[in-house]
Amino acid sequence: MVSFLTVRFLARGSDELTELAQMHGLTDGEILVCGAKTTWESNYSGPAFKQVTGSTVFGVLGTTLYRDRGFATSKPVTAQFYLSDPKTMRLRTEYSGSVFEEEIKLIGSNYRTRQTIISRANEEQMIGQYLERRLFEEMPEVFA
């Protein structure tokens, strides 16, 4: 599978974050600090080629990551997150009887690894490991 992702930073007060906060029933005093909108196009190869596109909006408040949808649901979900070191983020999301635990680790400036463990009733259902490579022609100023 090959996926192409774009990530756009969302500043506090953006329309997308305001809508996300409303989806989660947050009050005006609970304004999401910042966020991102991610879009993707995934191409599955093999005997049954399949293309999947989509997007999701993320927002942050404290140690909670708010999302407009989950991996296995189109409903809004939240994840608890923390940084175990400056280059590693760990997330835990629970919904519909499943637990999603993820670790995302930056490797240099162009790679990251991602590991996802999906459990149900304390039994692992799926373990996925991914190597992701950043592709861009020019580094945006915000990262320079």
Q: Is the same domain home to 77 and 125?
A: yes
Number of structural domains, the chain? Answer: 2
In the predicted model, what is the mean pLDDT of the chain? 87
Taking only the tens place, the pLDDT of each residue in 21-31 is 999 999 876 78
Q: Is the same domain home to 76 and 92?
A: yes
**Parent domain of 35:** 1-63
Which of 42, 63, 84 is the last residue before a domain boundary?
63
Question: Distance from CA of residue 18 to its chain's centroid?
Answer: 18
Q: Is the same domain home to 78 and 40?
A: no
Given the structure tokens 């983020």, which residue do they identify?
89
Q: How far apart are CA 89 and CA 87, in angstroms?
A: 7
Within 13 Å of residue 139, how many CA atoms lie on the same side as its CB? 7
- Per-position DSSP letters for 40-99, written without gaps between them: EEEEE-SSS-EEEEEEEEEEEETTEEEESSBTTBSS-EEEEEEEEETTEEEEEEEETTEE
Q: Is the same domain home to 35 and 75?
A: no
3-state SS, 20-38, equals HHHHCCCCCCCCCCEEEEE
pLDDT above 50 for 144? no
Q: What's residue 6's pLDDT?
A: 86
Taking only the tens place, the pLDDT of each residue in 50-102 is 778 889 999 999 999 999 998 888 899 999 999 999 999 999 999 989 999 99
Q: How much is the average pLDDT of 42-47? A: 76
Q: What's residue 29's pLDDT?
A: 66
Q: Is the same domain home to 104 and 34?
A: no
Q: Is the same domain home to 77 and 122?
A: yes
Q: How much is the average pLDDT of 9-20? A: 93
AA identity, residue 134:
R
